[in-house]
Amino acid sequence: MDVLETSKLLDEELYSRQLYVLGLPAMQRLQGAKVLLSGLQGLGAEVAKNLVLMGVGSLTLHDPHPTCWSDLAAQFFLSEQDLGKSRAEASQELVARLNRAVQVCIHTGDITEDLLLDFQVVVLTASDLEEQLKVGTLCHKHRVCFLVADTRGLVGQLFCDFGENFTVQDPTGAEPLTAAIQHISQGSPGILTLREEDDLRNFRDVDLVTFSGIEGMVELNGCAPRPIHMQKDGTLEIGDTTTFSCYLRGGAVTEVKRPKTVSHKPLDAALLQPRMVAQSPQEVCRALSLHQAFRALHMFQRLNGHPPKPWDPVDADKVVDLARALKPLRRTDGKPLEEPLDEALVRTVALSSAGGLSPMAVMLGAVAAQEVLKAVSGKFMPLDQWLYFDALDCLPEDGELLPNPEDCSPRGCRYDGQIAVFGAGFQKKLSCQRYLLVGAGAIGCELLKGFALMGLGAASSGGVTVADMDHIERSNLSRQFLFRLQDIGVSACPSPYPMSRTVLLQCPLPPSIFLPSSQRPKAEVAAEATHRLNSDVKVTPLTDPLDPTTEHIYGDNFFSRVDGVVAAVDSFQARHYVATRCIHYLKPLLEAGMQGTLGSASVFIPHVTEVYKALGTDSEDASAPVCTVRHFPTKVVHTLQWARDEFEGLFRLSAETINRHQQAHTPLVDTSGPQFLTLLQVVLGVLRKRPQTWKDCVVWALGQWQLCFHYGIKQLLRRYPPDKVCKDGARFWSAPKLLPRPLEFDTSQDMHLLYVLAAANLYAQMHGLSGSQDKPALREMLKLLPLPDPQYLASAELDPEQKQGLHKALQVWSVGPPLQPLMFEKDDDSNFHMDFVAAAASLRAQNYGIPPANWTQSKRIVGKIIPAIATTAGAVAGLVGLELYKVVGMPRPLSAFRHSYLRLAENNFSRWIPPAPAVQTFHHVEWTWTCWDRLKVPAGQPERTLKSLLDHLQEKYGLRVKMLLQGSAQLYSVRWSPEKQAQCLSLRVTERVQQVTPCVPKPEQRVLVLELSCEGERDDTTFPPLHYEL
């Protein structure tokens, strides 16, 4: 098996989000991999799409069979124009367009032993069992990783054979655990105390560690992995430290990951002694029956020359008979398995097995592609060895409502594969749906593709609206497959700076640099691409955000034309808002999210399931207290927040402030505000005039280094000396505070140099000067420069003499063109923005003895980047598509629906029935309600008064209202004086609302939402909202 020899560049901008999932070594191995994929129906197309988007080195397609109508329900590379053509040949060009860096080839002959030797991984989809056994035996013999993937209607199968001694370098893909050290004792064993108690839980299952950044006991820094043992008091034994130096301060302990070895059986053995990936014994039993069902389907095909006909009871009975007659399965120890065959399950599989469904292909194709990635990269645990996934819960529970053979017979249309499972009547219902999709990112693109293949909204009365305010960036292209390079409006002009952090893999050619010219909105491009997949599906793009500021757009009229909502957004705040709109308008909500290899899909149905609860809303964007960030950081996120604030103050706010005063012709000397002066003195720094040369910028940057990491710390220690004692007798510098120490500038330290390089270049950019990337020249320049003395800049307040000097300097310095404020941009690695933040945060961490983040970690944290990969996006989109079938087929009971959670890295696939909405009661009345209910009161003609509204609530519901609110404004309260009550009660409700709020009901507004509090309510009582119908 040869590794691809073609040298190429690793495009870190393109794969930026994926690199956070895989890491650089795994990504490099993926780019050198050669994969053979046989079978280009829907499932094969999904595997191909994922592999090419992720950047596999070479993909060879094999499928000489002609395209037929049933393929089009799940194979998005094919269209009506390809009917009769070879699937592989018809698909090749469109597959290649996804990523021109990937070699996409076609093999037209048979799969031979010699052919297999050219590949590291072979994937068979839509193949017969005889072919699987033949190819599987050869692959096992030659240590070629082998996968079988197949879907039959609502059931999918995946098998992996990576050989008898496959090494997994990183089983979980998680960042190695690291924690700050509080103390290490000298002894045998040495005892390590962690600084944060929360870190103790993480280290319980860690067996090997190493150390870094320790002062004093330096013998541990970079040592060979040492075993640890957690003691009852939460400290860690780390081995003999008797002869080591005395521990002084700082340092971090870091987990050392151990590779694991996996042993797989070849297919012929694993077929009779299957090892199942399942989350419970019940799932194992179900998987074993599904295993036998697939074997029986293969046998039926071999005996009859065709698969079972759609929903044909005679063919289904034959499949059950074949399954019943199969040789019994055995356990891994050779003993017979005693689990009985679930004949009803086998029969249902057989009845619905003739179809091909897009959501099933997407789900299984994502998992299969992830296994290919595991095979070539050695990252994440591979499946051991069989995975069965079924979504038979999509079928009606009532047997009388199941499709019939006539309704599921082929129509000669693109939906034949789907009609074979659900019937033509259901297909018509799908086509009339009107759905809103919020978010056109990675998951959103997958969902739109699924909508097109399913025919969602394809009728004249149906349609899909996609809302997304973002524009396409180059980093989107590795997972948001509806977008292409031309959609970001790029030109191939050379950049004035070389591409930073692009990894050269033995390539003599320079990388192509693409400069953005006009980024297009995601919603518009995604709508156009979806229409090309299926011209019958009407997709309306909206680029307005879905939030409280646009309720005039996404209001009553809009939602009255929507049957359901699908949310694929990347923040809890956005999800929460979308969910509140769905609750308000009683619309079903399908929601999906991902982070790296973690994914989730959820369904929320009015009056059937619980509503969405955004658990992360409160803490998602929470910032640390200002004093903690400025003076008392304890975590790396504090140092990064401080560095980010430094960037804003030095390179954006200062320039904007000065420009504003220059444009207003306000002399800077007349400006005496303390905040303004403080801002300007750091911009001037140690310079007394406007910078004119690169050297001036370097001098300023060096002075800023001295200010931040030397004199500033000295000033803090003068204010709070190390031996300071608080009034209660406790030491001021005690946990959780960390005692800082000033750093000494050293040109030999790379992080010192990087800070000055980045700061000087940013300062030059702000002043319209040329910068430099020549680190050796900068190092030599710094050796010759005297260290500036910016002590006066460290003072929080300026005395009159200092103010006068600053005013005088500013008068000279402010003469010149406007400054260029720098807007922080995390995705351009050549602009020095992230270099500055990463270096500043690292030096700040050194000040306080905090284990620093590396450059990549800093970018992820500061940029709030969500690690993402195409496989996870596909998997959760497939899961959402399956729930969509159920929502469209309403009414369905709670037991039909599933929340899903998956961890592709660790083969965890969990699906469970969502909780029902909690029922609330109020002892003063006899009725009950849930979170989906509301009290509806018509305004009437003429409109009722506030008194009439309160009387109505008491008469109809038995509620004596104590307080009535519209938002935060009080419309009524029993605590008011009788005079005020009488004055308000006589007003019409809308008059009272306009009296206490700035809101005037718009003509198209149909409802005013009011909140009420009633006599006799308990603390845990939440009354339904009052919908006052206008």
The residue length of the chain stands at 1030
Range 56-87 burial, b when 16+ CB lie within 10 A, else e:
bbbbbbbbeeebbbbbbbbbbbbbeebbeebb
> 253 forms bridges with which residues in the sheet?
179, 211
- Spatial separation of the C-alpha atoms in residues 835 and 832, rounded to whole Å: 5
- Spatial separation of the C-alpha atoms in residues 669 and 714, rounded to whole Å: 31
Residue 874 DSSP symbol: H
User: Is-contact 161 267, C-beta < 8 A?
Assistant: yes
Nearest to 371, CA basis, from 389, 357, 385: 385
| Residues with catalytic roles | 627
Bond preceding residue 736 cis, omega within 30 of 0: yes
User: Is-contact 825 607, C-beta < 8 A?
Assistant: no
Tokens of 414: 């693109």
User: Is-contact 41 357, C-beta < 8 A?
Assistant: no
Longest dimension (CA), the chain: 100
Range 781-802 burial, b when 16+ CB lie within 10 A, else e:
bbeeeeebebeebbeeebeeee
User: Is-contact 875 904, C-beta < 8 A?
Assistant: yes
User: Is-contact 759 836, C-beta < 8 A?
Assistant: yes
Distance spanning both ends of the chain, measured CA to CA: 72
Inter-axis angle of helices 775-784 and 694-706, to 10 degrees?
Answer: 70
> 155 forms bridges with which residues in the sheet?
152, 390
Sign of CA dihedral 766, 771, 774, 779: negative
Q: Which residues contact 351 (CB under 8 A, 6 or more apart)?
A: 308, 310, 311, 312, 313, 316, 402
Q: Where are the alpha helices (DSSP H) in 432-571?
A: 442-454, 522-533, 556-560
Q: Which run of H or E residues covers position 505? A: strand 503-505
Q: How many CB atoms lie within 10 A of CB 932?
A: 17
Tokens of 253: 């302990």
User: Is-contact 469 434, C-beta < 8 A?
Assistant: no
Residue showing tokens 């691809």:
4
